[in-house]
Amino acid sequence: MAPGRTQGLHNGRVNEPLVLGIETSCDETGVGIVRGNTLLADAVASSVEEHARFGGVVPEVASRAHLEAMVPTIERACETAGITLSDVDAIAVTNGPGLAGALLVGVAAAKALAIGLGKPIYGVNHLASHVAVDQLEHGPLPEPCLAMLVSGGHSSLLRVEDVTAGVDPMGSTIDDAAGEAFDKVARLLGLPFPGGPHIDRVAREGDSVYVDFPRGLTSRRDLERHRFDFSFSGLKTAVARWVEARERSGEPVPVADVAASFQEAVCDVLTRKAIDAAATEGIDDILIGGGVAANSRLRAMAEERAAAKGIRVRVPRPGLCTDNGAMVAALGSEMVSRGRTPSPLDLPADSSLPVTSVLA
């Protein structure tokens, strides 16, 4: 188990709901505590190092790690926030989508807390939480906004009117998710798992126009059917072929240049389509969330291109982009504030919960 991190902020507001959020959909055990839109604690224990040698998250290993980390992470979050569990007004928990066994650990823990404390439970959608988290940093979400969610499991463009009511999918990946492409290409280049942060780092030293990699679903014909959809598997194959050809020739692979050229291709398509979707809907605010939103090139390119069109971009700080409990607490807090009905205590964990279903 990697050493956990905890982050705390305090302020004196007392009349807003105190919500504890639990996230266990993948390999991060996250427990966040918020009061209204104020982040009080964000404790995360990651099992990523246990998966690294397999090159991807192993579901059974993740579930077991959640079991071991759950109680200490709850305790750490409470300590940082300076609260006791009896102070909490509501419990929020990711009940999908994600790994079934991993989700079950969080949902079971949340139910135990809700029953023990006699407080309501809100089962919330992991993807909507990636959107809601931004309100902890930049205040209430613009309504409507265009959300681009880019993570290891998802790449979607969503029209969001009220994040507690539902989101309207405009497009998504038809094959690999953006983060998955980063992870697979990193592996091809001999970089560790998860690959996104390593590609981001080595690409800074590379030439982003060294190889002109393909931009998936951007040809005129593809745009007719897939205007707001993404495809990254062709790009991944193109990188693999390029690397193989270079290795066969006996010349060294210029890792930084290939990483930078690959990253440029991903960011180019993501930003182009997000801005096109916002402009088409007449939306002035784009919100980027999910682990890939931590990418420095994506953040810079999105801001530059959107500004040229008079569109604002909001991206949470990198630590809030990757999976965490604060995002779940943020969405839970919004549910409480808007008077949404809590979930039933027999709330299921749903590994394939659709993005349109925000509240269980």
Q: What is the number of residues in the chain? A: 360
322 touches, from ligand KG4, Zn ion, none (C-beta below 5 to 8 Å by class): ligand KG4
Residue 284's alpha-carbon distances to 130, 236, 297, in angstroms, are 19, 32, 21
Residue among 279, 266, 34, 48 at smallest CA distance from 173? 266
Q: Which of 18, 292, 311, 330 binds ligand KG4 (CB under 6 A)?
A: 292
Q: Name beta bridge partners: 125.
A: 96
155 touches, from ligand KG4, Zn ion, none (C-beta below 5 to 8 Å by class): none
- Binding of ligand KG4 by 152 (CB under 6 A): yes
Contact set for ligand KG4, span 304-333 (CB under 6 A): 322-323
- Binding of ligand KG4 by 262 (CB under 6 A): no
DSSP state of 287: E
Q: Which of 323, 328, 335, 353 binds Zn ion (CB under 5 A)?
A: 323
**Which residue, 88 or 157, has its beta carbon nearer to ligand KG4?**
157
- Binding of Zn ion by 24 (CB under 5 A): no
Render 175-192 in DSSP notation, one character per residue: SS-HHHHHHHHHHHTTPP
- Amino acid identity, position 104: L
97 touches, from Zn ion, ligand KG4, none (C-beta below 5 to 8 Å by class): none
Task: List % helix, strand, coil for the chain (3-state, nearest 5).
Answer: 45, 20, 35
Q: Which of 134, 200, 268, 334 binds ligand KG4 (CB under 6 A)?
A: 200
**Which residue, 106 or 342, has its beta carbon nearer to ligand KG4?**
106
Q: What are phi and psi of 153, to 5 degrees?
A: -115, -15
- Binding of ligand KG4 by 96 (CB under 6 A): no
- Binding of ligand KG4 by 32 (CB under 6 A): no
Q: Which region, judged by CB under 6 A, interacts with ligand KG4, from 29-37, 139-147, 250-258, 285-293?
A: 285-293
Produce one character per residue of 299-328: b if its CB has 16 or more CB atoms within 10 Å, e if not: bebbbebbeeeebbbbbbeeebbbbbbbbb
**Which residue, 199 or 211, has its beta carbon nearer to Zn ion?**
199
Render 69-96 in DSSP notation, one character per residue: HHHHHHHHHHHHHT--GGG--EEEEEEE
Residues in the interface with ligand KG4 (CB under 6 A) total 19
Q: Which region, judged by CB under 6 A, interacts with ligand KG4, from 64-72, 115-123, 134-142, 288-296?
A: 288-296
Q: Which region, judged by CB under 6 A, interacts with ligand KG4, from 33-41, 64-72, 146-154, 222-230?
A: 146-154
Q: Which of 24, 151, 231, 333 binds Zn ion (CB under 5 A)?
A: 151
Q: Say if CB 243 and CB 258 are below 8 A apart.
A: yes
Contact set for Zn ion, span 180-219 (CB under 5 A): none
Q: Which region, judged by CB under 6 A, interacts with ligand KG4, from 66-74, 188-196, 210-218, 299-307?
A: 188-196
Q: Say if CB 178 and CB 161 are below 8 A apart.
A: no
Residue 297's alpha-carbon distances to 226, 254, 293, 301, 355, in angstroms, are 24, 19, 9, 6, 26
Q: Name beta bridge partners: 159.
A: 146, 168
| Binding interface with ligand KG4 (CB under 6 A) | 26, 151-153, 179, 182-183, 194-197, 200, 290-292, 294-295, 322-323
| Binding interface with Zn ion (CB under 5 A) | 151, 323
